Amino acid sequence: MNFLVFQLYGAMASWGEAAVGGDRLTSLHPSRSAILGLLGAALGIRRDETSRLNALHQSVKIGIKQYDAGTLLRDFHTSQVPSEKKNVEHSTRQEELKQDKLNTILSSRDYRSDGLWVIAIWLESATEFTLEQIQTALHKPKFVLSLGRKSCPLGLPLLAQIVKDVDLRTALDTSFMSSAPEVPTKEAWRDPLNAIHKKYQAHDVTYFWEGHIHIFDASQQADQIQTYDKWDEPLNRVRWQFGHRLEHQLSVSLEECR
């Protein structure tokens, strides 16, 4: 198979989980909705372009290699919410803010600090975009890219590259230690890039992937693969609605990585 592979690193990242009350939690690794949002921003797709977003969502599948989830960082905010009224529900944040009386509550925002992930995407159905077009968009994005929130900028270039005729495990093990000649990155990025990747070479890693693709041969470590329910499948970007999917996980020790 052919894959588009890129890295995600930043001082802060936020991979949103289900929001309950005033708390905004973060997953340990990038959510599907966050990665699709990043791809959509790079391609210049707006949130109200439903048909283009749906086409992207339906065609793209995602695999993740987590070197380090980073450390938890919690920030606190004040937020305005309407008073509770019997039999009154608000389907969007915009509807809440239109109410006459608003109350102030304390809310929290969680982030992952100093995490590093490698992302591999592949196309399972025909779409208006090819891997080559998405790669070009990641190098020259239409909109500013971020790691889950606008306040979380990229800490290093994505270094998106296409790897062909390999399996998912090989694609996710792609090395970013040195920039390939065709990857448009400044010489100034090489030292911090190499330092960060060397820092995480001594870590065990965890793989996450979706769909029916096998990251290993069927006979290898099948009993160690865990499958979880995730609620990060974008259904409606305007109304912030998300659906259910299954995600597979396998943690691999440093010795097995070698």
Given a cut of 50, whether residue 196 has pLDDT beyond it is yes
Given a cut of 70, whether residue 90 has pLDDT beyond it is yes
CA separation (Å) from 55 to 40, 62, 113?
11, 15, 32
Class of domain 3-177+185-216+224-257: alpha beta
pLDDT of residue 218: 47
pLDDT of residue 163: 94
pLDDT of residue 188: 58
- Measure CA 249 to chain center: 15
For 99, the token pair is 């109410």
> How much is the mean pLDDT over the chain?
84
- Which ranges in 44-130 belong to alpha helices (H)? 50-59, 93-97
Mean pLDDT for 113-118 is: 94
Model confidence at 181, in pLDDT bands (50, 70, 90)?
very low
Q: Which residues contact 255 (CB under 8 A, 6 or more apart)?
A: none
Single out the residue of 248, 252, 251 nearest to residue 61, CA to CA: 248
pLDDT of residue 216: 57
Given a cut of 60, whether residue 167 has pLDDT beyond it is yes
Of 4-13, 14-23, 122-131, 180-189, highest mean pLDDT: 4-13
Given a cut of 80, whether residue 178 has pLDDT beyond it is no
Name the 3-class secondary structure at 168. helix
Mean pLDDT for 123-129 is: 82
Q: Spell out the domain ranges in the chain.
A: 3-177+185-216+224-257
Mean pLDDT for 34-59 is: 92
pLDDT of residue 172: 93
Give the lowest-confidence range in 46-60, 66-80, 95-109. 95-109
The percent of residues above 70 in pLDDT, for the chain, comes to 84
pLDDT digits 0-9 by tens, 206-256:
999 987 766 655 445 666 788 888 888 888 766 777 888 889 998 887 656
From the number of C-beta atoms within 10 Å of its C-beta (0-12, 13-18, 19+), residue 121 rates as: buried
